[in-house]
Amino acid sequence: MLYLLNFLKIIISQKKMKILKFFLLIVMLLTYTSTIAQDYSAPLNFRMLLSGTFGELRGNHFHAGIDIKTEGVEGQKVYSIADGYISRIKVSTWGYGKVLYITHPETGHTSVYAHLQSFSAKIDSIVKKKHYQKESFEINFYPNANTIQIKKGEVIALSGNSGGSGGAHLHFEIRDTKTEHPINPLQFGFNIADNIPPNLSKLKIYAFDTTLIDGYNKSKIINIKKTNNKYAIDENPKINGSFGLGISTYDKSNDSYNKNGVYSIKLCVDTNICYKFTVDELDFSTSRFINAHIDYAEKKESKNKYHRCYKLPNNKLTNYSSLINDGIINIQDTLTHLISLEVTDIYGNISELDFNIKSTNNPFLNRCPLPKDTINTPFAINKVNIFKDNELNLHMEANSLYEPIMFHYETTDSIEGVFGKVHHVHFDNTPVHKKYVLSIKAIVPDSIKRKTYIATTDIKGNFWYLGGIWKDSIIRTKTRQFGNFCIIADTTNPEVKGVNIYPGKKFNTQTSIKLTIKDINSGIKSYRGEIDGKWILMDYDYKRNLLRYDIDEKLTKGKHTFTLKVTDNVNNEKVYTADFTY
């Protein structure tokens, strides 16, 4: 028996040792992976100053990376942060413009470099072949892992201002390769100087149906003041019923004037956490829910961006934690309570606002139901919403709204340039998550029908193209915005002007052909440049209305014919032709 017990002890001891060794191996692997991940080099070779941070509030999306200043100029060398391979290359007029994706197998990450001016020679030779194979400036392709291998510190591109960029800079991301979720790049030890805490500028207290704030059933905005490095408000609001909070805030880093986004916001009531928002990671599939996170109406009306410190019913973001009652505060007593809002940046700089509210808990409003709305139509969140009128139909999928609304529709008589009435479809300060079908009925002469489309308008003579397809007397399109809609026509051809080319031009030292293209009505749909009947690659910068062809070795000495055809969204065309000598 003693022998058996000793034998069992040995077996158990050996198993424990194996488990211990296995545990140590896992720890070593995790440490090794973490070490590799933290060993990224900078994508630029000078001091990194930020003009945008991860998770920043942008139009219809959270900012998925960081924006690094390039000393106010284009053409700075961009470096790969680690060994890897080019896994995706995209060139677009819009969005990220010219962008590279580098997969790093050792770390499980993919780095992204956007708004580039140009690619390195070895990358550009492959990209140019794709352009000419497709005969398109717009390309998007995925080289295999062996096609373009990249070393850490290798120059991969020059920085630029391409796509939807508003100024010279490098947009830089780190993504999880498997999920494609963007991860906050500032977690990886890049050298950014920041000892400045976030700025708190305005507090908003949201009133719901039966809420009274200082005696009124109306949301209230209060300016936040800073004295001796402490934030405060000048009043103690009296609140009856449930309420929510919102805060307008931004962050700065050392030696940079830009107002950037914050990393986290925490809300406490009497020291109890009831809401926390953090941006460590994002998901492109849910990024548009930013319109549920922010106060969308406030942004449209006052241009101020407020983080809601509570969740709307159809907000699917996963960046929240410690939620109690979705962040909505409901106090059932008549006491004074301490409210604390703590805002931090990723470097641990903290700003805090503490203030008191007096709860009145007056049940009077609960006995007085709101008057029934007999004018508007209730739209629910989780079901299909359909609205029909004599001249307008609307069909909206379920989960297209973030909260229930009372849908409002009215019309006004036609304005100059419009066929039929102007349709006021609810209010443009209400966000819509999914595209809905909008159908408008109007009498339009057959001779001009193919040149008409649905547009949004500000009723001041400005129109923005949406498009549309006619069937009998009804034109139909899809949109994901509310506002003013109407039918207009575009019978004007696009405008084309030569910048450095004209008929009979002789090229001596000229290295490019430049033209401006413009269409002030429906907008430009496509363009095609040719020399002697063969397609040429023309780079389109829509911000400057500029088309540019960089002369290459394919162009031979002698006489040539340059042709450019520009088409707008209703197929009006303009053809520009110039013979030149090279």
User: Residue 556 falls within a domain, yes or no?
Assistant: yes
Domain shared by 55 and 102, yes or no: yes
On whether residue 298 sits in a domain, the answer given is yes
Establish how many alpha carbons lie within 13 A of residue 288's alpha carbon, considering only the half-sphere containing its beta carbon: 13
DSSP string covering 373-421: -SSSEEE-SSS-EEEE-SSEEEEE-TT--SS-EEE-EEEE---TTEEEE
Pair (114, 242) in one structural domain: no
Structural domain includes residue 266: yes
Asked if residue 180 and residue 60 are part of one domain, the reply reads yes
Contact 435, 478 (CB under 8 A): yes
Band of pLDDT at residue 503, cut at 50, 70 and 90:
very high
Q: Which domain holds residue 14?
A: 1-38
Q: Residue 194 domain-assigned?
A: no
336-369 as b/e: b if 16+ CB within 10 A? eeebbbbbbbbeebebbbebebebeeeeeeeeee
Spatial neighbors of 467 by CB under 8 A, at least 6 apart, are 453, 454, 477, 569
Q: Pick the residue with more confidence: 435 or 367?
A: 435
Do residues 547 and 514 both lie within one domain? yes
Check pLDDT > 60 for residue 21. Answer: no
Output the pLDDT for position 564. Answer: 98
- Asked whether residue 193 is assigned to any structural domain, the reply reads no
| 464 and 510 share one domain | no
pLDDT score of 427: 97
User: 188, 213, 230 — which closes off a domain?
Assistant: 188
Q: pLDDT at position 362, please?
A: 76
Same domain, 102 and 174: yes
Burial 2-33 (b: 16+ CB within 10 A, else e): eeeeeeeeeeeeeeeeeeeeeeeeeeeeeeee
In-domain check, residue 43: no
Alpha-carbon distance 259 to 246, whole Å?
Answer: 18
User: Quick one: pLDDT at residue 213?
Assistant: 95
| 97-151 pLDDT, tens digit each | 999 999 999 999 999 999 999 999 999 999 999 999 999 999 999 999 999 999 9
Three-state SS at 224: coil
Residues 416 and 511 grouped into a single domain: no
Does 390 share its domain with 520? Answer: no
More confident residue, 202 or 365: 202
Q: How confident is the model at residue 366 (pLDDT cuts 50, 70, 90)?
A: low
Looking at residue 295, what is its pLDDT?
A: 98
Q: Considering the chain, what percentage of its residues have pLDDT values greater than 70?
A: 91
Closest among 575, 429, 420 to 495, alpha carbons compared: 575
Boundary of a domain, candidates 137, 159, 188? 188
Q: Using 50, 70 and 90 to split pLDDT, how confident is the model at 32?
A: very low
216-217-223 Cα angle (round to 5):
65
> Are 262 and 151 part of one and the same domain?
no
- Supply the DSSP symbol for 288: G
134 and 278: one domain? no
d(CA 554, CA 530) in angstroms, rounded, equals: 13
Q: What is the pairing mode between strands 405-407 and 377-379?
A: antiparallel
> For the segment 296-324, what is each residue's pLDDT rounded down to a tens digit?
999 999 999 999 999 999 999 999 999 99
Residue 356: pLDDT band (50, 70, 90) is: very high
445 in a domain, yes or no?
A: yes
Number of domains in the chain: 5
Express each pLDDT in 381-424 by its tens digit.
Answer: 999 999 999 999 999 999 999 999 999 999 998 888 899 999 99
- pLDDT confidence of residue 416: 84
Sequence-separated (6 or more) residues with CB below 8 Å from residue 267: 245, 273, 274, 275, 276, 309, 327, 339, 340, 341, 342
74 or 14: which leads in pLDDT: 74
Q: Are residues 217 and 357 in the same domain?
A: yes
State yes or no: pLDDT of 27 exceeds 60.
no
Decide which of 461, 489, 517 is a domain's last residue: 489
Amino acid at 571: N
CATH number, position 544: 2.60.40.1220
Give pLDDT, residue 415: 84
Element (DSSP H or E) covering residue 567: strand 559-568
Mean pLDDT, rounded, for 454-470:
95
pLDDT digits (tens, 9 = 90+) for 504-519: 999 989 999 999 999 9
Q: Which of 59, 46, 2, 104 is nearest to 294 (CA)?
A: 59
pLDDT attached to residue 361? 80
Q: Is residue 387 part of a domain?
A: yes
Say whether both 254 and 360 belong to one domain: yes
Which residues are CB-neighbours of 176 under 8 A, at least 6 positions away? 108, 109, 110, 183, 281
**Are 150 and 90 in contact, with CB atoms under 8 Å apart?**
no
